[in-house]
Chains A and B, each alone.
Chain A
Amino acid sequence: MTTTTPVLSARGLVKTYGKVVGLDGVDLDLFPGEVLAIIGDNGAGKSTLIKCLTGAVEPDAGEIRLDGAPVHFRRPQDARKAGIETVYQTLAVAPALDIAANLYLGRERHRPGPLGSVLRMIDKKGMRRDAEKALTDLGIGTLQNMSQAVETLSGGQRQAVAVARAAAFGSKVIVLDEPTAALGVRESQQVLRMIDQVRSRGLPVILISHNMPHVFEVADRIHIQRLGRGAGVITPRSHTMPEAVAIMTGATTLTETPGQT
């Protein structure tokens, strides 16, 4: 459907845990500026696939390419350095720290001049200002006070902080693992809008979700995992939700149900 080089591509990924085969030769392509959803039943290999792509797990075999060049991630930091930011299902925010501190956690910026280089002072004002900008850019104007502790925020607002952190530092790919699983209707919509915003900046997103309506609302393409293998890639236009679920559960296959083109 397109001839551009994928930003991120995987070929023949295999990962076994003892006798259990987590991934059995999976291919995946992520193109610039798209939202690629990954769906699959429990144990289909969604998590393992994502862990391989984000460096949390090293695949036994297969190849991962970033912008066409082969990469080997041995730990999450490697993937992050390469520009792949992940928002984990367990909200990876420190509740007692404020919004700005969370946004820059582990990447604090120092003040210019000797205050920063000698005294190692961090640039609190600057980080607060840029945190505010990062959140406003994603359409979350409701969080005005960057020195507010994250624990005083709602679940959706916390998720917004986590997504904003990924969007602010991810230069190549953003991976969101079940970002709406713990959220209410309105908060989920807020997060889906953020995903939309990230895509409109040209940054591709990988979205893992159980929620079919959310997937069909925001995804450009949908990668279906089944029993450790890729069961095919569909789009919200080519297939309906029941068809996607049928492929996912093995009730039908992509060859039997090719969908509309």
Chain B
Amino acid sequence: MLGQEVTTAVEQFAQRRRSPLERLQHVLHAHPSISPLLVLIIAFVVFSSINPRFASPNSLSLVLQQVAVIGALAVGQTLVILTAGIDLSAGAVTILAMMLAAGLAEGGGLPGVVAVLIGIGVGVLAGLANGALVTRVGLPPFIVTLGTLSVFTAVALLYTKGQSVQATDLPGLLNWTGETFPVGDFRISVGVVLVGVLYLLVGFALANTAWGRHVYAVGDDKEAARLAGIRVDRVLLSVYLTAGAVYGLAAWILIGRAGAASPNAITDANLESITAVVIGGTSLFGGRGALVGTLLGALIVGFFRSGLSLAGVDDQYRVLAVGLLVLLAVTVDQWIRKVKA
């Protein structure tokens, strides 16, 4: 009863061939992790040709141990950024969890298992505070976490009175994450293994469960997600709680890595975790990206640190290079978001 389909000029126009640049845009749109993978490969080739020691198992093992903490924080950060939020309190939550766990366990006050669980529990509570302020009060994540960044940092400093807790005063389990074991010529720490497991678990959940789909949908278009029957607030809260738990785990890894619990540790952690996520191709506007990209992004940051230091250049060049990479990554993201049919 309705008119037959007519091919219009508009339709024919749409069928024109894509230029090579447009095809690249489409490939990057479909596989956002390609760019960080390329950067990682190029960095590896360049740095190992400047100084062959860069590619040695010893040096690469060290890179892995160095990026473990940032890599862990970046997992929580990825979840939050996927929902179109940002977590400026990631490092502060980690410090608070670490100092409370270490402070309570100091001098045999608590068994190691309990201390680890307290660390994770503190992270979850901090995530609950962030999540409740975002979902119940309706504040923007940037403002919420800017506030809690100061609150958590101050509480950690007030609690510890600025004092560190040395590894020797802590139960063995808290330092366990820093222990290393040989894998071929490499030396892998327990912390690195934990971070690997974390990536597998969260990566699986994001890619293969309905929860993962909903995280993407909420970040992509909140209203569309709500109209599709997704309980947006519940998904957001679950993201902040999970991120908090991840930061609590990162605190444990940090104690092992640093050999102490210091309230002044990882001051750059917030920005570095955001850097890893952004270089990894996850969009700051939410809804697109993947955890594998974040892993690549964290490794890129680690490669630059190790490679430029082995090349014998000033550390400021690393800061400069990473800054430029962030700008490039965001520019590429803006470009591929404009992909057309």
Q: Check if A94 sits within 8 Å of B10, measured CB to CB.
A: no
B217 and A97: CB pair below 8 A? Answer: yes
B 209-224 binary contact with A (CB < 8 Å = 1; else 0): 1110110110011011
Residue of A nearest to B209 (CB): A120
**A57 an interface residue at 8 Å Cβ cutoff?**
no
Q: Cβ of B214: which chain A residues have Cβ within 8 Å of it?
A: 106
Residue of A nearest to B208 (CB): A121
Chain A's nearest CB lies how many Å from the CB of B3? 6
Chain B residues with CB below 8 A from A190, complex form: 5
Distance, CA A97 to CA B214, complexed state (A) = 10
B137 at the interface (CB under 8 A from A): no
Contact with B along A159-190 (1 / 0, CB 8 A): 00000000000000000000000001110011
Q: How far is the CA of A211 from the CA of B3 in the complex (A)?
A: 17
- Chain A residue contacts of B1, Cβ below 8 A: 196
Any B CB within 8 A of the CB of A238:
no
Q: Which of A90, A96, A105, A120 contacts B223 (CB 8 A)?
A: A90
Within the complex, which residue of A90, A94, A122, A189 is in contact with B208, where a contact is CB–CB below 8 Å?
A122
A108 touches B8 (CB 8 A): no
In the bound complex, do residue A94 and residue B221 qualify as a contact, i.e. CB atoms below 8 Å apart? Answer: yes
B5 contacts across to A, CB distance below 8 A? 186, 189-190
Asked whether, in the complex, the Cβ of B216 is within 8 Å of the Cβ of A120, the reply is no
Which residues of chain B are within 8 angstroms of A76 by Cβ–Cβ distance? 227, 229
**B11 pairs with A94, CB closer than 8 A:** no
- Are A92 and B220 in touch, CB under 8 angstroms? no
Contact status of A186 and B287, CB under 8 A, knowing A94-B221, A95-B221:
no
A151 interface contact, C-beta 8 A: yes
Contacts of B29 in A (CB 8 A): 149, 152
Is A217's CB under 8 angstroms from B217's CB?
no
How far does the Cβ of A93 sit from chain B's closest Cβ, in whole Å? 6
Give Cα A218–Cα B1 distance, bound, in whole angstroms. 9
Residues of A within 8 A of B225 (CB): 94, 105-106
Tell me if B320 counts as interface (CB < 8 A to partner A).
no
Q: Mark A239-258, 1 if CB is under 8 A from B, else 0.
A: 00000000000000000000
- With both chains docked as a complex, state the minimum distance between the C-beta of B33 and any C-beta of chain A, in angstroms: 15
Assess whether B257 is interfacial by the CB under 8 Å rule.
Answer: no
Q: Are B210 and A94 in contact (CB under 8 A)?
A: no
Q: Contact partner of B287 among A96, A121, A157, A192, CB < 8 A?
A: A96
Partner of A153, one of B8, B211, B288, B341: B341
Residues of chain B within 8 A of A80, CB atoms compared: 229
Please state if B339 and A92 are interface contacts (CB–CB under 8 Å): no
Q: How far is the CA of A95 from the CA of B3 in the complex (A)?
A: 30
Interchain CB contact under 8 A, B213 and A101: yes
Given A96-B287, A189-B3: A107 touches B220 (CB 8 Å cut-off): no
For A113-126 the 0/1 string (1 means CB < 8 A from B) is 00000011110100
Q: A94-B220, A106-B230, A186-B6 are in contact. Are A152 and B213 (CB under 8 A)?
A: no
* A186 and B8 contacting across the interface, CB-CB below 8 Å: yes
Please report the total number of A residues contacting B with Cβ < 8 Å. 40
Task: Give the dominant DSSP class at B's interface.
Answer: helix
Complex Cα distance, B8 from A185, in Å, reads 10
Alpha-carbon separation in the docked complex, A90 to B26 (Å): 26
Residue in B2, B14, B26, B228 whose beta carbon sits within 8 Å of that of A105 in the complex: B228
Separation of A96 and B11 alpha carbons in the complex (Å)? 23
CB-contact partner of A122 in B11, B210, B220, B341, under 8 A: B210
Partner of A108, one of B14, B30, B213: B213
> Which of the residues B2, B213, B220, B224 comes within 8 Å of A217, measured between beta carbons?
B2
Q: How far is the CB of B341 from chain A (nearest CB, A)?
A: 5
In Å, the complex CA distance between A193 and B213 comes to 31
CA of A97 to CA of B286, assembled, Å: 12
Q: Are B2 and A120 in contact (CB under 8 A)?
A: no
Which residues does chain B contribute within 8 Å of A16, judged by CB atoms? none
**A77 with B3: CB separation less than 8 A:** no
B285 to chain A, nearest CB (A): 9
Q: Which B1-51 residues have C-beta < 8 A from chain A?
A: 1-3, 5-6, 8, 10-11, 14, 26, 29-30
Question: How far is B241's CA from A31's CA once the two chains are assembled, in angstroms?
Answer: 48
**Given A80-B229, A105-B228, A192 and B216 contact (CB-CB distance below 8 Å):** no
CB distance from A182 to the nearest CB of B (A): 15
Q: List 14 A-B contacts (CB under 8 A).
A: A92-B227, A93-B224, A94-B221, A96-B288, A105-B213, A107-B229, A122-B210, A124-B208, A149-B30, A149-B339, A186-B5, A189-B3, A189-B5, A193-B2
Residues of B at under 8 Å CB distance from A?
1-3, 5-6, 8, 10-11, 14, 26, 29-30, 204, 208-211, 213-214, 216-217, 220-221, 223-225, 227-230, 287-288, 339-341
14 more contacts with CB within 8 A, not counting A186-B10, A190-B5, are A90-B223, A94-B225, A94-B287, A96-B216, A107-B229, A110-B210, A119-B208, A122-B208, A149-B30, A152-B26, A153-B341, A154-B14, A192-B2, A196-B2
Shortest beta-carbon contacts, A-B, top 5? A106-B229, A108-B210, A92-B227, A106-B228, A105-B228
